[in-house]
Amino acid sequence: MILIAVGNTHTLLARTHDGVHFDSIRVVTRLPPAEILHQPGLPWSGAPNREPIALGGVVPAALSAWREILSTAEVREPGPGFFHRAVPHGYHPPESLGFDRRCCLLAAALDFPGQDSIVIDMGTAIKIDLLAGGRFRGGRILPGVAMSLRSLHRGTALLPEVALDAPAEMLGNDTRSAMQAGVVHLFTDALRGAIADYRQHSPQAQILITGGDAEHWQPAIAGSFYQPHLLLRGFYLWIHDGAPP
């Protein structure tokens, strides 16, 4: 099966034979699907019409473009019913709970039955969600790391455009390093604070961290488990109504 998960910044394209191991690449979402399909290194060879495709995401215009170009393929899209049965919740309105959050929560719920989880997804936006007592209890959404650095640059006259490409010091001694230190420690404190708050409700909750920036951040979050394919795993389970691979 081929999985296409459309995010705000990047789209994940993956191929899997068992729902556990994924051959995946990330491409820029703003590229037209026709251009993406001609990029080298795609997780399938030849035409995608040869096997079923799962399509989901958070960018309606991009999803429409994918549906159009895949009109002759066997395309499956997840419906809300199975998620609600597998992960009961009180989110309002229910349809506004994002595709990416649903996938990660499903993987946590179905792969770790009976285990409470704090699910941290560090993408364009950072989502920190609590799954406890078999229910999704709610969460927090923060601007992502790159978005925060861009907003500092775009919202001021003199602050430069900065990329976070190295561990930041506690105290910056030039403008760039001060911006990096501010963003790194802002998010480190925000993640640790959320974990402390959530553990008041679920002291034994495990911490699962995923997303594009997760590998950089995971060492700073004590006791956390890096899950690079959490979204893809949840997407696969959702498409198959939770059936084991």
Q: How many CB atoms lie within 10 A of CB 3?
A: 26
Instruction: Report how far residue 115's alpha carbon sits from residue 103's, in angstroms, rounded to the nearest whole number.
Output: 17
Contact 244, 111 (CB under 8 A): no
How many CB atoms lie under 10 A from the CB of residue 128? 23
SS (HEC) of 105-129: HHHHHHHCCCCCEEEEEECCEEEEE
Catalytic annotation, pick one of 18, 23, 100, 189: 100
**Alpha carbon of 17 to those of 1, 22, 236: distances in Å?**
6, 8, 10
The two structure tokens encoding residue 2? 């081929």
Q: Reply yes or no on whether 100 is catalytic.
A: yes
Helix axes 145-154, 175-201, angle to 10 degrees: 140
- Catalytic residue positions? 100
